Amino acid sequence: MSKKRALISVSDKSGLIDFAKFLEESNYELISTGGTFKHLKEAGLSPIQIDEVTNFPEMLDGRVKTLHPKVHGGLLAVRDNEEHMKTVQEHEIGLIDMVIVNLYPFFENVNKNISLDEKVEFIDIGGPSMLRSAAKNFNSVTVITDVEDYSKIQNEISETGDSTLETRKKLAGKVFNLTSAYDAAISKMLLDEDYPQYLNASYKKVSDLRYGENPHQTAAYYVSTFENGAMKDFEILGGKELSFNNLRDMDLCWKVVNEFKNEMACCAVKHSTPCGVAIGNSPLETYRKTFECDPISIFGGIIAMNFKVDAATAEELNKTFLEIVMASDFDEAALEILRKKKNLRIIKIKNPVSDQQTWVKIDGGILVQDNDNQFSEEIKTVTEIQPTEEQKKALLFAQRVVKYVKSNAIVVSNGTQALGIGGGQVNRIWATEQAVNRAKEIDGGDSPSLLRQKFSGDLVLASDAFFPFRDVVDFCAKEGIKAIIQPGGSVKDQDSIEAANEHKIPMMLTGMRHFLH
């Protein structure tokens, strides 16, 4: 029985020795390179070096070692093509039946604080070339890029003497899946364009999810191989597994508190909509103010806090059923308290928000835009009466919240709390009525324990887009709203300005819309 040949060159050597020993015992000759050759030799195996196959030394600091006809001819030759087989015999090219290659760790190093030249050295050329050659000839060649596939191939060889065609085809597909993501990450680094000719995605699966938005939908969770981000490397400190909807809500919730980098902020999200946002002077105060915004909707929601959670705050959090509590850190005492609720997901966020773009899938295409991460620097008062300094602070607070609410969006605030949030309405007056009524409601519904006091002090209102008519201003006057901020830009802006002057309500225009569709 003639020997088969396996070419092995890996950076991830986990599980390799046991698999290589199995291959030798199964009559495979092992060909290897550099560090992999040394690793196999030290384990008592009998690999041969690649230069013995090519009759050409490794050169250019290892950049050229497998880029040779005796390697790629052995991989690409079609076994049942007489001309191919005649050619390889004439040139004394030995066939290669298996390739085990995983690539230089570019993904792991592209985000490190190292120079571009250093990052370039982690770009693998020979590895992807061998993988692609082997994958193209999957009818005859088994190609392995993932250590998790060692056991499957070992079982098939043990049972039948070779891998199955179905398995080889699937492994070939994994090759092109990997190399396309690898190339996409490299392209992103070198091209450095927001909107390149071809839109490349490079994401790695973290896990399959139980289901998507609904139980009949399948789903999986992927993270970028090129970018860091708050939703990439968070730490799960307690609770059950995360769902599709959990992850979407977490992303929005953390982005809201990230708006308040110099303040202690807390946000509650329910169904991808903020239902409470507040800033405060202590962890407990900040959470309580967030809870007060909407004690009903917060039930079963997600909480994000851009501060360290202490025991007193944890005790208060545990009084309400919550799906997730996210924070930049937790006291040990706080963790002990929160973990009493076994299903509560406790998430520590380690990376800052880093998204620069939003991608929206549509049927047959993708829309790409840069993120809405700006606020106007040219805010001006357009009414006869000027807002007070306290009202200005309240308006700017509400403006930071309103851009995370689905359009049409209105936020009513007293400066440190989003007391009423109205969003997702098809006209602006409905969103305004919704937000104002929520801000002033005192009824806790069927739960007397949720009874709320009517909020006193100046209530101000922020809108994500212009007022098409004066009806919003008239309604605000009727309900006692003391100041308004909105982008302006309507052909009827003057009607709203005149209404504000009539009602003696200061109004500021930003000139910048914040739609969130």
What is the reported pLDDT for 424? 87
Taking the C-alpha atoms of residue 296 and residue 287, their distance in angstroms, rounded to an integer, is: 15
Task: Measure CA 317 to chain center.
Answer: 26
Other beta carbons less than 10 A from residue 354's beta carbon: 13
CA distances to 305, 309, 321, 516 from 285, in Å: 12, 12, 19, 29
DSSP string over 137-188: TTTT-EEE--GGGHHHHHHHHHHHSS--HHHHHHHHHHHHHHHHHHHHHHHH
Residue 438 and residue 387 in contact, taking contact as beta carbons nearer than 8 Å: no
517 residues of the chain, pLDDT tens digit each = 578 999 998 988 889 999 999 999 999 999 988 888 899 989 898 888 887 777 776 666 666 666 677 787 888 888 888 888 788 788 878 888 999 998 877 888 887 888 888 888 888 788 888 899 999 999 999 999 999 999 999 999 998 989 999 999 999 999 999 899 888 888 888 887 888 888 888 899 999 999 999 999 999 999 988 888 899 889 999 999 999 999 999 999 999 999 998 999 999 999 999 999 999 999 999 999 999 888 999 999 999 999 999 999 999 999 999 999 999 999 999 999 999 999 999 999 998 888 888 888 888 998 989 888 888 888 999 999 999 999 999 999 999 999 999 989 999 998 889 999 998 889 899 999 888 888 876 544 455 444 444 465 689 999 989 989 999 999 999 988 999 999 999 999 999 999 999 999 999 999 988 888 8
- Per the CB < 8 A criterion, the answer to whether 485 and 510 are in contact is yes
The full DSSP string for 214-262 is STTS-EEEEEESS---TTTS-EEEESS---HHHHHHHHHHHHHHHT-TT
CA distances in angstroms from 318 to 64, 134, 323, listed in the order given: 61, 56, 11
* Beta bridge partners of residue 369, listed in sequence order: 358
β-pairing verdict for 219-224 and 203-209:
antiparallel
Three-state SS at 307 = strand
**C-beta of residue 303 within 8 angstroms of C-beta of residue 275:** no
pTM over 0.85: no
Distance CA 283, CA 310 (A): 7
Torsion, CA 470, CA 475, CA 481, CA 485, rounded to 10? -30
Spatial neighbors of 180 by CB under 8 A, at least 6 apart, are 200
Which amino acids are annotated catalytic?
A: 136, 271
Q: In the structure encoding, which two tokens stand for residue 318, read together?
A: 């545990």
Contact 509, 379 (CB under 8 A): yes
Give the number of other Cβ atoms within 10 Å of residue 277's Cβ.
33
C-beta separation of 194 from 182 below 8 A: no
Check if the beta carbon of residue 503 is closer than 8 Å to that of residue 473.
yes
Estimate to the nearest angstrom the gap between the alpha carbon of 477 and the chain centroid: 42
Can you give the pLDDT at residue 444? 47
Q: Do β-strands 98-101 and 4-9 pair in parallel, antiparallel, or remain unpaired?
A: parallel
Report CA 229 to chain centroid distance, whole Å: 6
Strand order in the sheet with 322-330: 235-238, 345-348, 322-330, 301-309, 264-270, 273-280
